[in-house]
Amino acid sequence: MKFSIKRTAFIQRLTNVQRTIASKTTIPILTGIKLTLTNEKLILTGSDSDISIEAAIIKSDDNAQLEIEETGATVLPARFFSEIIKKLPGDTFSLNTFENQQTQILAGKSIFKVNGISAEEYPHLPEIEISQKITLAADLLKKVINQTVIAASNQESRPILTGVHLTIYQGQLTAVATDSHRLSQRKIPLDINDLNYDVIVPSRSLIELARMLPDSSEKVELRISENQMLCFFDQTVFYSRLLEGNYPDTAQLIPNNSETELEVNANDFLAAIDRASLLSHEGNYNIVKLTLDPKQQLAKIYGNSPEVGTINEVLNFESLTGKSLEISFNPDYMKDALHSFGQTTVKINFTQPLRPFTLTPSENQSNFIQLITPVRTF
Amino acid sequence: MGKKDIIARQPRLTAYFADLIQHKKLVHAYLLTGPAGSGKHELALWVAAGLFCQHPVKGQPCGKCGECQRIFSGNHPDVIDLLPAGNSIKVEQTRFLKSEFNSSGVESRQKIIIIENAEKMTASAANSLLKFIEEPSGQITVFLLVASLNQLLPTIVSRCQLFKMQLPSEEQRIQTYQQEGLNTLLAGLTVDIQTARQLADEKTVLELSKRLTQWFLKILNNEWLALVDVQVKFMPLITNKDEQNLFIQLLELFSKDLLRCAIGTKMVYFQDQALQFKQRLTKYSLTKQLTAVELLLNQPRLQQENINFQNLLEALTLQLIKCYHG
């Protein structure tokens, strides 16, 4: 393998890939970064076995000035390699691999020789047929991820709940996450009809993916294999392993009817909950109480800590209908849920004091739903 | 450790597993038992290689293709090899293990997890394992490697398929060790010729066994200096728990030899001084000889009870002298 390239362009790609590489790993080769040079592009690969990232620099990219002399592949120790590249003098450097995997890095008057490992030893990432792809906008995917991962569990006791359940059925993508106290579900229409998938993706992977996705409506491609999910965007391939097991059936958890409905501005309500939670965080029980009285058109929120004191606030709302109700819940779940709505009005549907209640955006009630389980109080 | 080697050492098990792989009948959990060096780990890797190999011959791995190479060099992402760090499987490793049980493989769905020294699993690790082996999900095969079954939770044992490693008999071992120019004493200590070579190189074992025989001769001669030997000869060489265990093992082997003497056959492990022992031991009644053996065999239990090792040996010396001469 022999090539020369502009350093800044290379470093940009390298940092993207390097975020996956863990310092501690059970598989020695994963401390390395794989370089593959084909006739058209240079591919950098990094992996911690859960997440793998491939970033390519194409020959036609003017910023990179990639000059390919001889194709090939090698694996270099990531920690040293990135430090070396960052500290090299000059704008460009060249890299040359010899037969015994020794790699020479040349820049200006400095020459590094690094011992590489055969690329054959590196994990083989799955290849998935290009026909089985799902295209959607990057910012939309990012939104779907950010709206659902908040509800995913971070407890190891039920590992399956640490993932987000993605189902693609009849041209619709449904993402659901729950930690058994709350649930978040987002649906988006897709422009394909013939693909059906049912997978569980670790929320950690999705959070990482959301961080990397561009903030534009640029198209990204999703492909799903039996053991990995792939996401293509901007000359980058993001691989995530899937979780094995059966995700609980969440459809039946979401109530269809409601007895009390409250419509509020998400931001205002968030601020009120935030104030109420100031005191509830102090006590042993992190709960706030919401009292709704449609007859008198009154909604009150009450937070209490036996040691510190209490808070009472009368809420502003858009509308309040149905039966009167008193319900207690964990304010942190409510805050996370409200955050995910952004600047909009939210419709909250209650059934009974001990039944879960739902939050939906007022204008579009079927695509996005958050569910929170109340707390029993005496 | 080459692949030929494991086939030669475990012909029955390798043939059995090759058959399973060929017919795709591997179950989700296997428990391999056998002392250190009996080839448990090699067998588990061999099975993994057989499963992933690109050119398997009747379920046996070729050992040459990329997959086999990666498995034997520990670089295959779907063959997970867990070795407890230190005395128990640590929290971090447990977490890793749990997540591995619940995620798909990196390259395909097929996965192999090998847990070495499985008896060192903490309760939480054992429970997460139990969860998996009760309701296996995905295509995962777990190999648990233990020295002895009794140290593992019975609930785990009952849910695994059990295999005992085939061990060469002691006579065979003594023969091969003699051919290799190794002391026969080592045949009693380990079944693995590599470990035996290592022990022979370290010399501690041989030196300890020499001092042990000298100490015992003193006891038989009713020399009270034997008591001083504990402090002067043994303790400098026994500085840590491993060496204590080694010494206890030597005592066990020695008691075997004493028994052999008592019934009039040749001593096997401590041949160097065999004649002197024979002459002296014949003077004592069989009951006395057996009592002495019993005293020796009592030591492992006492050591487990955390009695100071020097105290233990000194008490043993006094008891032995009393037994023979009292």
Find, in chain A, the residue whose alpha carbon is nearest to that of B96.
A26
Model confidence pLDDT, tens digit, residues B137-194: 778 899 999 887 887 888 888 989 999 888 877 777 788 787 877 777 787 777 777 7
Name the one residue in this structure whose structure tokens are 């690329």.
A119
Answer yes or no: is pLDDT of B3 > 70: no
List of chain B residues whose C-beta atoms are within 8 Å of the C-beta of residue A73: none
* Strand-strand pairing, A357-361 and A368-372: antiparallel
Hey, are the CB atoms on A227 and B109 less than 8 Å from each other? yes
User: In angstroms, rounded to a whole number, what is the distance separating the alpha carbons of residues A233 and A214?
Assistant: 8
Find, in chain B, the residue whose alpha carbon is nearest to that of A32.
B75
One domain for residues A319 and A221? no
Hey, are the CB atoms on A26 and B80 less than 8 Å from each other? yes
Nearest Cα of chain B lies from the Cα of A239 at a distance, in angstroms, of 9
List of chain A residues whose C-beta atoms are within 8 Å of the C-beta of residue B98: 156, 159
Chain A residues bordering chain B (beta-carbon distance below 8 Å): 26-30, 47, 49-50, 52, 120-126, 156, 159-160, 202, 226-228, 241-246
List of chain B residues whose C-beta atoms are within 8 Å of the C-beta of residue A244: 102-104, 137-138, 140
Model confidence pLDDT, tens digit, residues B93-135: 888 888 888 888 888 888 999 998 888 887 777 887 888 888 8
Residue at which a domain ends, from A100, A121, A142? A121
B91 touches chain A (CB under 8 A): no
Find, in chain A, the residue whose alpha carbon is nearest to that of B73.
A121
Answer yes or no: is pLDDT of B2 > 80: no
Hey, are the CB atoms on B104 and A244 less than 8 Å from each other? yes
Q: B158 is written with which tokens?
A: 């009952």
- Kindly report each contact of residues B277-286 with a partner whose C-beta sits within 8 Å and lies 24 or more positions away, as own/partner: B277/B213, B277/B216, B277/B217, B277/B220, B280/B217, B280/B220, B280/B221, B281/B220, B284/B324, B286/B262
Hey, are the CB atoms on A47 and B66 less than 8 Å from each other? no
B16 touches chain A (CB under 8 A): no
CB pairs under 8 A between A and B: 76
Answer yes or no: is pLDDT of B1 > 60: no
Nearest Cα of chain B lies from the Cα of A183 at a distance, in angstroms, of 21
CB A162 within 8 A of CB A130: no
Answer yes or no: is pLDDT of B249 > 70: yes
Q: A84 is written with which tokens?
A: 């070396």
Nearest Cα of chain B lies from the Cα of A225 at a distance, in angstroms, of 9
B54 touches chain A (CB under 8 A): no
One domain for residues A226 and A164? yes
List of chain A residues whose C-beta atoms are within 8 Å of the C-beta of residue B74: 27-28
Which residues contact residue B249 at a Cβ distance below 8 angstroms, ignoring those fewer than 6 apart?
B188, B189
Hey, are the CB atoms on B104 and A125 less than 8 Å from each other? no
pLDDT for residue B209: 86
One domain for residues A288 and A357? yes
Nearest Cα of chain A lies from the Cα of B102 at a distance, in angstroms, of 5
List of chain B residues whose C-beta atoms are within 8 Å of the C-beta of residue A30: 77
pLDDT for residue B296: 87
3-state secondary structure of A100: coil
pLDDT (tens place) for every residue of chain A, 378 residues total: 999 999 999 999 999 898 888 777 778 889 999 999 999 999 999 998 889 999 999 988 888 889 999 999 999 999 889 899 999 988 999 999 988 889 999 998 999 999 998 888 899 888 777 777 889 999 999 999 999 999 999 887 788 999 999 999 988 999 999 999 999 999 999 888 788 899 999 999 999 999 999 899 999 999 988 889 999 998 899 999 999 888 999 988 899 889 999 999 999 999 999 998 888 887 777 889 999 999 999 999 998 888 888 899 999 999 999 999 999 999 999 999 999 988 889 999 999 888 999 999 988 777 899 999 999 886
Model confidence pLDDT, tens digit, residues B192-202: 777 788 888 88
Nearest Cα of chain A lies from the Cα of B86 at a distance, in angstroms, of 16
Mutate to test the interface with A, among B80, B104, B124, B141 (most CBs of A within 10 A): B104
CB A263 within 8 A of CB A318: yes
Hey, are the CB atoms on A26 and B95 less than 8 Å from each other? no
One domain for residues A139 and A247? yes
One domain for residues A242 and A272? no
Q: Residue A5 phi/psi, 5° resolution? A: -155, 160
Total number of domains constituting chain A: 3
Hey, are the CB atoms on B69 and A121 less than 8 Å from each other? yes
List of chain A residues whose C-beta atoms are within 8 Å of the C-beta of residue B105: 227, 241
Residue at which a domain ends, from A218, A251, A284? A251
User: In angstroms, rounded to a whole number, what is the distance separating the alpha carbons of residues A69 and A15?
Assistant: 24
Residue A301 lies in a domain: yes
Q: Which CATH superfamily is domain B3-164 in?
A: P-loop containing nucleotide triphosphate hydrolases (3.40.50.300)
Residue A155 lies in a domain: yes
- Report which DSSP code applies to A316: P
Residue at which a domain ends, from A229, A251, A273? A251
Nearest Cα of chain A lies from the Cα of B103 at a distance, in angstroms, of 4
Name the percent of chain B lying above pLDDT 70: 99
One domain for residues A17 and A95? yes
- Angle between helix axes B193-202 and B170-179 (nearest 10 degrees) is 60
One domain for residues A140 and A247? yes
Q: A3 is written with which tokens?
A: 């090539």
Answer yes or no: is pLDDT of B91 > 90: no
Residue A127 lies in a domain: no
B64 touches chain A (CB under 8 A): no
Q: Check which CATH number belongs to the domain holding A339 and give it.
A: 3.70.10.10
Nearest Cα of chain A lies from the Cα of B133 at a distance, in angstroms, of 13
List of chain A residues whose C-beta atoms are within 8 Å of the C-beta of residue B102: 159-160, 243-245
Hey, are the CB atoms on A122 and B75 less than 8 Å from each other? yes
Domain that holds residue A20: 2-121
B111 touches chain A (CB under 8 A): no
Find, in chain B, the residue whose alpha carbon is nearest to that of A127.
B107
Which residues contact residue A236 at a Cβ distance below 8 angstroms, ignoring those fewer than 6 apart?
A16, A53, A54, A55, A56, A212
3 state SS for B59-80:
CECCCCCHHHHHHHCCCCCCEE
Residue A378 lies in a domain: no
Q: Check which CATH number belongs to the domain holding A239 and give it.
A: 3.10.150.10
One domain for residues A355 and A297? yes
CB A332 within 8 A of CB A277: yes
Residue A197 lies in a domain: yes
One domain for residues A287 and A345? yes
